[in-house]
A = this chain, B = another copy of it.
């Protein structure tokens, strides 16, 4: 059965182009290291096995990379990578080669890469080595650091399709401002990573390469829409990844792959020169931000990008606020919200947040405040969530459909889920404005109620109902999308805990009856959908939210919390 813009005959004409696009990857990796490719094909199980078993991806890295390469990709932080080039211990080329090898292995395991940039990365690394040798100076704080980039961000003279098949011939005239900044600061971009069709799933699945796998359990979703990044960084295939987020697209992937991720306050990081279906849409504003293995590296990225990259010099919509010193009080008031009152999280998430609240309440630097009785009601949350979903689709999906239609590509299940947000109804501009006004009132209310009246510095919540989702089944966005709606900054961090198939098997006795709760907990026939066994190996991560523009404080607090949880680097 075809749906909306689907046109199988038309799509068939695009298939050779998709094949050629994908073959370029094959060609690049074979040209780079045919031996490694052969070993990967021998050692790494078939897609069928990976898609059905809870395989930990890093095990293959361990088996396939040399000791030296493993040391580079596993052990050194961004700062150490840079320092070791200054000391002459490592060259940019050596680092690039190690990361490219990891990126190849990672792709066999998780299928996260849309486009490799191997020759470009090696060329760039070579020129960085020359620059350091000739001048004795680093190009910048990312000198020789391999960074993966979500594909929707344009890259000069390369195809940028943002997972829309109709864009398969779209060669970018210039790179996105953020890519330019990272490269000016010395970053080596060796791979452009996958995102889902329409870039609007909390999962990563498209008609170019199919689904991307979670590096912690290959049968699970890596989250989305920056799931290519979480798979890549989670496989140590890049030192840090750069993603984007309009409803949870940095945070869900970070959480699902046991990483740190930040959704900064909007307009701190430039969005200029990217492709998405959000063109001209400003009711819920997208952001870009990094996914990292440690909070220190995430901090390093933000500071370097803002203070040395100065995006406002290239993008007039970027706000000229540098990455400042944090200004947390001696005792941090942290509100804990175990459930948003709309959709009850799965047991491991509830266990995770209780654990962290418990740890924090024993530390004199934190004053823990339970928000359970102080949060918005189920009805109020439903209203806000309905508003968010309607804002995503209020043009009747006209922009999205105009990008899907020219290729007739198949509409994936989570694309359909997204296109039907708010009924997929075409609103009037008047209605859009009234929803904006409701959004603004919520933004003010959160400031007044929580940050001003209750004097909270931070709010700790789940990132998602599940520790990681079953592919094609990430339905509820509310834990992350609320913060896109009202635009308060968040950091997602691993708690150090994992889902426990036994401990986390119990379904709560009382569940809500709203449609979102039902979709998460029940099958259509009314039977319980939740099955603890599915989430084996999934990490438990939480979301920390701060005051607007106080991104630095959220990061600083995450450092303290991570130390208390003993999660240094994943």
Contact = CB atoms under 8 A, between A and B. Distances in A.
Interface of A: 272, 279-283, 312-313, 315-317, 319-321, 394-396, 398-399, 426-430, 432-437, 440, 443-444, 446-447, 452, 486-488, 548-549
A549 B320 contact: yes
A279 B437 contact: yes
Contact of A282 (B279, B282, B487): B282
A315 B395 contact: no
A444 B280 contact: no
A79 B152 CA distance: 53
A319 B319 contact: yes
Contacts of A394: 429
B317 A320 contact: no
A87 to B, nearest CB: 37
21 contacts: A279-B433, A280-B433, A280-B437, A280-B440, A282-B436, A313-B452, A316-B443, A316-B444, A316-B486, A316-B488, A316-B548, A317-B443, A319-B321, A320-B321, A395-B428, A395-B430, A396-B430, A398-B428, A398-B429, A426-B429, A428-B429
A280 B436 CA distance: 5
A444 B315 CA distance: 7
B312 A549 contact: yes
Among A316, A427, A436, the most chain B Cβ lie within 10 Å of the Cβ of A316
A399 B399 CA distance: 25
A7 B434 CA distance: 26
A429 B443 CA distance: 23
Q: Which 8 A-B pairs have the closest CB atoms?
A: A280-B433, A280-B436, A395-B429, A398-B430, A280-B437, A316-B447, A395-B430, A316-B548
Contacts of A313: 452
Given A272-B444, A432-B280, A312 B548 contact: yes
A512 to B, nearest CB: 29
A329 to B, nearest CB: 15
B430 A429 contact: no
Nearest to A435: B280
Contacts of A434: 279-280
A312 B321 CA distance: 14
A320 to B, nearest CB: 5
Nearest to A402: B430
B430 A428 contact: no
A423 to B, nearest CB: 15
Contacts of A432: 280, 429, 432
A529 to B, nearest CB: 34
B440 A317 contact: yes
A264 to B, nearest CB: 14
Nearest to A285: B282
A549 B444 CA distance: 23
A430 B402 CA distance: 10
A137 B428 CA distance: 54
A49 to B, nearest CB: 44
Given A316-B447, A432-B432, 19 more contacts: A279-B437, A280-B435, A280-B437, A281-B436, A282-B282, A282-B283, A312-B548, A315-B444, A316-B444, A316-B446, A316-B488, A317-B440, A394-B429, A395-B433, A396-B429, A396-B430, A398-B428, A426-B428, A428-B429
Contacts of A399: 430, 433
Contacts of A428: 395, 398, 426, 429
A458 to B, nearest CB: 15
A430 B393 CA distance: 11
Contacts of A429: 394-396, 398, 426-429, 432
A488 B317 CA distance: 10
Contacts of A427: 429
Contacts of A488: 316
Among A281, A399, A433, A549, the most chain B Cβ lie within 10 Å of the Cβ of A433
A4 to B, nearest CB: 16
Among A313, A429, A548, the most chain B Cβ lie within 10 Å of the Cβ of A429
Contacts of A444: 272, 315-316
Contacts of A395: 428-430, 433
A446 to B, nearest CB: 8
Nearest to A318: B548
A518 to B, nearest CB: 30
A272 B447 CA distance: 13
Nearest to A394: B429
A319 B443 CA distance: 14
A549 B320 CA distance: 7
A231 to B, nearest CB: 31
Nearest to A281: B433
Nearest to A440: B317
A301 B143 CA distance: 45
Contacts of A315: 444
Contacts of A440: 280, 317
A51 to B, nearest CB: 37
